[in-house]
Amino acid sequence: MKLLNTALFQALLNSVALVVCAAEPDPLVQVVGGQIKGRLIPDGGAAFKGVPFAQPPVGDLRWREPAPVKDWTGVRDAGAFGPACTQQNRQQQTSQEDCLYLNLWTPDWPPKSPKPVMVWLHGGGNAMGRASVGYLDGTSLSRRGVILVTINYRLGVFGFLVHPGLTAESPHHSSGNYGLLDQLAVLKWVRENIAKFGGDPGNVTLFGQSAGAIDTSILVASPLSKGLIHRSIQESGPPLRQLGPVAQEEKVGVKFAESLKAPAGAAEAVKFLRSVSTADLQKASEAAKLRPDGVLARPVIDGWVMPRYPAYSYQDGQELPIPMIVGNNAREQAWIYKLEEMKQVIADNFGSLAPKAEEFYGLNKSALGNDDPLLGPASTQLTADTRHRCGAVAEAIWRSSHGRTTYEYQFDPPIAGEPATKHEAEIPFVFGNLLPSGPLSGPFGEADKKISADIQQYWVNFAKTGNPNSNGLPTWSKFDPKARPYLEFTLHDGPLLREGLRRDVCDMFIEALKETIPSGSVAFKLGL
């Protein structure tokens, strides 16, 4: 009998696996609200998608703390992603306000021994983004021994509007931060339900990228997170962004309401705004130009979720005393500044040290400044240094100075086929989804697969124990303020332990924080 070729034989095996999987009953779990039906994953595990963790924040629930889900009858299907939250990206035609759903992957079914839990917050400036994209599929990462949860949370004007009418009706005398409250609601859902999926509610890692990392840093500094977060990973998002107090942000909310011709009274204005359609509210928020940076609504120092500017909590050692990984990509946003624009960004971020910083970036030699083969042109270096890299160094210094276990990294590899790394390039590697098409896709080679395997294992090791080391990986030393060790993920040489990431310029940046974040105000101009 003729032997089957390898490809055909593998295809037959896959078909058999699918048939066996289809013959097994779909997994059923009783959660808060009722029973849900997920899907078995070929080769083991199960996925549950579109699981509600709060009531739809619509009508009178718009701009309120997320309300507990209402009980449903029968079995709710959890086989497909829920819709993305309403957002400014016009390509998201299916986004809507009814969007508070989570997705969950487990490596085995039925569940065996309790496993650590990882909860992912997507990026997008708290104005865009969603959990239901191919590169965020949780199968690969969960198979390394964790329960993985991804979520949607309210964005933009729906997630962060501040208005005196909303402040007045709040029992906490705050408004805004509804997106952060959604994230807290998920963490509470995990505490109450995750054991039924084989997860350990006492071992939860919150991790995210960009705005998701910034939100992670905020929640780690929030008193409302106590007992809900046990480790955290911040990818390209330190706790240094432009944030204002409620009283300041209320003025923006009032101007926005006026742009929609809302009644003058605070309570009447809120009632009117809740009557405006989703589409019209989103359209008005995109048209409103009420700030120089164009950001209408963002996290706010509200005295409740965020009692103070988060950087102060890290400086003082008052954030959660949990293990943390912080880091950035070698290049982030490739913004091209003109000379005067670069000088303004330097002035905003380096204060009286601006002349020294201009010299560091080579602006005294050329209008374009110094170029670097890894970090890019001076404008790209400046963006990464001031928005991501030096903030992560500052955070690591503050935390380690207070005895907090902290690890720092830098990610160098580009998305396959692109000339250099960029903001969010690490995400498909972290999730193990090196896809041939779609956003953040390849083609990827063996070197990429090796990097992905390494970073996934470091992240999972950390989620399990608070230490990323083991499984034969190169040693990653804890951060200390003197040597400042960090792990550099490289394309061909593997993870390399180095010291003093951008020490010269980051020392200037950290010294300048005494001027750029004075008490009572925040001088950063770059926004989220």
Catalytic residue annotation? 210, 332, 423
Strand partners for 301: 245
Helices and strands (H and E) in the chain: how many:
17, 14
CA–CA dist 431, 412 (Å, integer):
17
Helix axes 211-220, 178-193, angle to 10 degrees: 70
Task: Please state, in angstroms and rounded to a whole number, the distance separating the CA atoms of residues 276 and 262.
Answer: 10
CA distance linking residue 409 with residue 488, whole number of Å = 6
Q: Please say whether the beta carbons of 73 and 189 come within 8 A.
A: no
315, amino acid identity? Q
Residue 204 β-bridge partners: 117
Within 8 A by CB and 6+ apart from 425, the residues are: 329, 411, 413, 414, 415, 418, 440
Dihedrals phi, psi of 85, to nearest 5 degrees: -75, 145
Cα distance between residue 455 and residue 101, in whole Å: 27
CA-based Rg of the chain, rounded to a whole angstrom? 23
- In this structure, what are the phi and psi dihedrals at residue 328, rounded to the nearest 5 degrees? -155, 170
β-bridge pairing 485-489 and 75-77 = unpaired
- CB neighbour list of residue 149: distance below 8 Å, 6 or more residues apart: 102, 103, 104, 117, 118, 119, 120, 138, 186, 190, 194
For residue 348, give both structure tokens. 């905003």
According to DSSP, residue 351 is labeled G
> How far is the C-alpha of 485 from the C-alpha of 407, rounded, in Å?
8
360, 477 contact by CB (below 8 A):
no
Bridge partners (DSSP) of residue 207 are 120, 233
